[in-house]
Each structure stands twice: as structure tokens, then as C-alpha cells.
Amino acid sequence: MIAKSSGKLLLLAPLLLFLGLAYVVPFLGIVRWSFTLPEPGIGQYRAVFSDPLVQSVFLRTLRICLVVTAASLLAAYAIAYVWVRGTRLQRMLAEFCILVPFWISVLTRAFGWLALLSNRGLINTWLEAAGITSEPLALARNELGVIIGMTHFLIPFAVFPIASAMRSIDERVLLAARGMGASRSRIFWTVFVPLTSGGLIGAALIVFVFALGFFVTPAILGGGRSVMVAELVYLRIFQSPDWGLGAAISVILVLFIGVLLAMMRRFIKPAHLVG
């Protein structure tokens, strides 16, 4: 038993070593900065919790992440449903929609959305040309743009755990419900959805945790007006050299994500995440 598990540990060793060198050591450095720059103490943490600007960024981040999570789950559920239970053609189409975004970089996608959503972007040009609007709708360079871009990026990550949960439903259970006279909508809401709840929770946590650390999409689609936590850290470190505060914000973010991941481990099976 012991020999066996130590053997497995040996196989994992290179990965652990890499993770340690690439993440844990630098993170410890950041923790040190947060307590030492510009002077030793917990002053930076106090600043995080008293600075109204930092607080408003935290609140905005939370709000955007919640909306993005909800929107991604909704869209992912529909896509996963078609992917798992659709006709052959529908399945292929869904698969295409899920995989294509993976081949295009975050940056390209953010600029793509900008081209669609900005004041002189495709959508506003069309709307005005069609006489539906007289002045451009504010679709980008604000929270709405950020939410659209992030949701689009995160949907595929939500699709996998949800589709995996849908696939593991025993077809006969659904047949049984039908045989008892249940309508399609009742079967969907009282049997199908509850049986995918594990996948939904997993998807929600993945999307939420990913969303918390988003940098590129908000920076481009938010137009500097919808700064999220990751961008704030960047600004604190690279523009107003205030390394201690940036480090303290990072540490808080990492701790928060750690708590979320611990929750994820409690609620769902890892199998639901990989799909």
C-alpha cells in the first residue's frame, strides 16, 4: 500500500516540482512584499479594506463575475443539451461552436467583440443604417461589453462539466418519468435539471474562479472605465509603483479563490470537471 502510493508520488514529482517553482515560490515572494513594501506591517491590507477605489473595484469584479457566471451557465446549458441530446447534425454544430473559440486567442476575440460592439462597430452601424437607432448604443467600453466578452470566452469551460453530467443520466430514468405520464417540461425541471446539478455547481465554480482573474478582456472591452481586480493589480505594480498594495490585493484574491476551490472539492466529483 505504502510502496504503491509512494510510487505514484514519484510519478507526480516533476509536476509538483514545476508547480512549486513556477507558482508557489513566486507567490511566497508576493506574500512577503505585501507585508514589507513600502514598510513592514499590515498597512497594505488595511489600505485595501479602507480605500474606496479598491473597494469599488472589488465590488465591480464580484458583480461582473456573478453576471458572467449566470449568463455562461445559461448559454452553456443550452449548448450542452444540444450537444448531448440533439440530432447528429445538431451535435456536430454544437461541437464546432464549442471548439472553435479554443483556437482563437483571447486578444483576438476581445478585439473581435470590439469591432462588433463599439460606437462605430458593426452592430451600431447596421442599427443606424436600418434607422432603428439614431445614435450609437453603448455596447462596449463599459461593463456590458466586458460581460459579453467574458461570457463568450467562458461558455466552453462551462459546457464540459454540464455535458458530462447530462451524459451520465440514465435514459431509462427519463423514460420512466414519461411512462408515469409526466410532460416534457415537468421531466426537464423535476428530473433532468436536478440530475445535472453537480455539473452546474462545478461549471459555476470554474467560470467564477476564471472570471475573477480576467485581465485582457476587461482591459480592452471595458475601455479603462470598468477596471477589474486583475487590472487593478497591474496598474498598482506597473503604473503607480505601489507594489505592496498590488501584492496585498493579489494575496486576497488568491485566498478567496483557494476557498472557492476547497468548496468545489467538497461539492463535486473531479470527474464532472473534465467532461
Partner 1 sequence: MPQRIPASEITAAQIGAAEINAENIGKTFGAFRALNDLSLDIRRGEFLTLLGPSGSGKTTFLMILAGFIAPSEGRLMMNGKDITHVPAEDRSYGMVFQGYALFPHLTVEQNIAFPLKVRRRNSSDIKRRVGAMIERVGLVGHEKKLPAKLSGGQQQRVALARALVFEPSVLLLDEPFSALDKNLRALMQEEVKRLHQETGTTFVFVTHDQSEALALSSRVAIFNHGELLQIGGPQDVYERPASRFVAEFLGEINLLPLKGVIRNGSGATGRFEDRAIILDRATQKIGDEAVAAIRPEHMHLTETPPPADCNAITCCVEGATYLGALTKYHLKTKTGTPIAVSIPTAAASPLNSRTDVWVSWPTREGFLLPAGE
- Cβ proximity to partner 1: between 116 and 191 the closer is 191
Dihedrals phi, psi of 259, to nearest 5 degrees? -60, -45
Instruction: Give the CA-trace dihedral at 223, 224, 225, 227, to 10 degrees.
Output: 120
Tell me 192's DSSP state: I
Residues lying near partner 1 in the complex (CB under 8 A) = 170, 172-173, 175-183, 186, 190-191, 194-195, 197
Tell me the closest approach of the beta carbon of residue 182 to partner 1, in angstroms: 5
Please tell me the distance from the alpha carbon of residue 83 to that of residue 266, in angstroms, as a whole number.
28
The distance of closest approach from Cβ of residue 192 to partner 1 in the complex, given in angstroms and rounded to an integer, is 10
Please say which residue, 154 or 187, places its beta carbon nearer to partner 1: 187
- Please, which residue, 130 or 180, has the CB nearer to partner 1? 180
CB of 265 to partner 1, least distance (A): 21
- Closer to partner 1 by Cβ: residue 31 or 191: 191
State the nearest-atom distance from the C-beta of 1 to partner 1, in Å: 28
Q: How far is the CB of 86 from partner 1 (least distance, A)?
A: 19
Instruction: Kindly report the number of other CB atoms within 10 A of residue 121's CB atom.
Output: 18
> Closest approach of Cβ 177 to partner 1, in Å?
7
Nearer to partner 1, 37 or 187 (CB): 187
User: What backbone phi and psi angles, to 5 degrees, belong to 213?
Assistant: -95, 10
Q: Tell me the C-alpha distance between 244 and 232, whole Å.
A: 13
Q: List alpha helices for 104-142, DSSP H.
A: 106-117, 122-129
R_g of the chain, CA atoms, integer Å: 23
* Alpha carbon distance 69, 211 (integer Å): 8
Separation between Cα atoms, residue 204 and residue 206, nearest integer Å: 6
Q: Of 10 and 180, which has the nearer Cβ to partner 1?
A: 180
Helix (H) or strand (E) segment spanning residue 168: none
Pick the closest to residue 39 from 242, 238, 229, 233 (CA basis): 242
